């Protein structure tokens, strides 16, 4: 028997059409692109988290000449949240990117590994993380939970 899955998300055309808190979170992520260390790919990524107590945390990608050691922006900021605010759920995450090669005019999605890490943070607090994605310009995609980007996810429950 065949099954299908429906994924709900919003497309917002302009930053000004986001609610104020979301707009400012995306702008903070955008500002943080300057702090990315991406000399090898030229692809800067920034992720801004808003915790449920209103705290905002920022992460950017940090590359290494030993390419396999490159760290993604999302995982950096989530590790910081876990290390310093381990009791506080994450309410929202805004992700953006900028490339030295071309204008990024479409939303940039977190890589599979980052989706898995975001999913663990949702699970550990049993609190959905709203995900906002935008390139340097263009549409903003909004997902109410990382599970919309990572259906059939692997989790601690699977370990028994």
Give the binding site for ligand THU (CB under 6 A).
Answer: 38, 41, 43, 45, 61, 63, 70, 72-74, 110-111, 114
| 31 Cβ neighbours under 8 A, 6+ residues apart | 46
- CA 122 – CA 78 distance, rounded (Å): 11
The three-class DSSP label of residue 59 is strand
- Quick one: tokens of 70? 């490159």
Output the smallest distance, CB 114 to ligand THU, in A: 4
Output the smallest distance, CB 73 to ligand THU, in A: 4
Distance between start and end Cα atoms, the chain:
28
Determine whether 74 is an active site residue. Answer: yes
Which of 50, 63, 74, 122 does the annotation list as catalytic? 74
- CA 79 – CA 96 distance, rounded (Å): 18
Output the smallest distance, CB 36 to ligand THU, in A: 8
Dihedral of alpha carbons 19, 55, 72, 119, sign: negative
Decide whether 23 or 61 has the Cβ nearer to ligand THU. Answer: 61
Output the smallest distance, CB 34 to ligand THU, in A: 15
Instruction: Calculate the dihedral angle through the C-alpha atoms of 160, 126, 10, 150, rounding to the nearest 10 degrees.
Output: -20
Decide whether 38 or 131 has the Cβ nearer to ligand THU. Answer: 38
Q: Which residues are catalytic?
A: 74
């Amino acid at each position: 028997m065949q099954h299908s899955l429906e994924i709900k998300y919003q497309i917002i055309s302009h930053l000004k059409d986001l609610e104020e808190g979301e707009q400012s979170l995306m702008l903070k992520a955008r500002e943080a692109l300057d702090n990315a260390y991406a000399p090898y790919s030229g692809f800067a990524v920034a992720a801004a988290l808003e915790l449920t107590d209103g705290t905002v945390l920022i992460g950017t990608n940090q590359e290494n000449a030993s390419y396999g050691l490159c760290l993604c922006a999302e995982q950096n900021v989530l590790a910081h949240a876990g290390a310093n605010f381990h009791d506080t759920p994450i309410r929202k995450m805004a992700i953006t990117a900028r490339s030295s090669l071309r204008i990024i005019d479409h939303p940039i999605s977190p890589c599979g590994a980052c989706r898995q890490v975001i999913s663990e943070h949702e699970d550990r607090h049993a609190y959905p993380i709203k995900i906002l994605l935008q390139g340097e310009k263009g549409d903003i995609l909004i997902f109410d939970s990382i599970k919309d980007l990572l259906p059939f996810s692997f989790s601690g429950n699977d370990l028994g």
